[in-house]
Amino acid sequence: MGDYLRLLTVSDREIPLAKLQRAASVGAVWSVDHPGTLGNYLAVGPELNDLENVWATIERNPVGPNTLGAEEVAEFIDHLEQGGPYSAVRWLSDYLETVRAIYAIRVYPDAIQRHEKALEAVFAIRTTLREAVGGIGQWDGQGFTNEDDRLIWIEQSHQMTGQTAAALLDETTGEWIAFDLNLDDPEETAAFLRGEIPRTPGVRSV
């Protein structure tokens, strides 16, 4: 897992802190002043204000002219050609042009490993964010997910492993074809990058 999990959304809605606090089954979520800038970021950890053992931080970057968010979006678009499938490259190029905000979740693996429920709490907060503002996911060094949170793009030199929920775009109908992708299987991964759906049970349109 990369150090950053991002949610890129076309919504500029603000999410109440209390909503995210309720999402954490364990631990705490609190606001922290952001040194040197206006605003703040959120911290997730075992106890309120325990900055020594933070599991993750969450920062919201608006996307507009001359913003850090706009620079990030431009970098993502430039990087798309280094992965595939091409249908996702085209779809993501269009989608990323409409993004209004980026929620960057930075995870701290060492702190997470010290608490068996830490990763569960971080993902619960990510789920709450996604349910509130929608959007697509981006995982450092790995890939993008669509609005159904299914993997749709990976780098040619991907490092992901395991079984994951994936989808390919049918550009004729505009529908996503959902299936499970075995990233440990080089043939399945290569087929996915070529834009081919693996011939496995359970493939469906979404």
pLDDT (tens digit per residue) in 47-98: 999 989 999 999 999 999 999 999 999 999 999 999 999 999 999 999 999 9
**Looking at residue 200, what is its pLDDT?**
58
Give the Cα separation of 98 and 128 in Å (integer). Answer: 22
Exposure of 64 in the CB half-sphere (CA atoms within 13 A): 5
Give the Cα separation of 149 and 138 in Å (integer). Answer: 10
**Looking at residue 160, what is its pLDDT?**
81
Q: Which two tokens stand for residue 170?
A: 């049918």
**Looking at residue 37, what is its pLDDT?**
52
**Looking at residue 1, what is its pLDDT?**
44
Give the Cα separation of 189 and 159 in Å (integer). Answer: 11
**Looking at residue 163, what is its pLDDT?**
93
- Per-position DSSP letters for 103-131, written without gaps between them: EEEEE-HHHHHTSTTHHHHHHHHHHHHHH
**Which of residues 162 and 158 earns the better pLDDT score?**
162
| 145 within 8 A of 165, measured Cβ to Cβ | no
**Looking at residue 38, what is its pLDDT?**
47
The residue count of the chain comes to 206
3-state secondary structure of 193: helix
**Phi-psi domain of 49 (left: phi exceeds 0; alpha: psi -120 through 50; beta: other):** left
Give the Cα separation of 188 and 53 in Å (integer). Answer: 39
Whether residue 112 is predicted with pLDDT greater than 90 in this model: the reply is yes
DSSP letter, residue 146? -
What is the residue-averaged pLDDT of the chain? Answer: 89
| 63 within 8 A of 164, measured Cβ to Cβ | no
**What residue spans define the domains of the chain?**
4-155
Q: What's the pLDDT band for 146 if we cut at 50, 70, 90?
A: very high
Q: In terms of DSSP H, where are the helices of 8-53? A: 17-23
∠ at Cα 149 (146, 154), nearest 5°?
Answer: 60
Give the Cα separation of 92 and 86 in Å (integer). Answer: 10
- Per-position DSSP letters for 129-157, written without gaps between them: HHHHH--EEEETTTEEE-TTS-EEEEETT
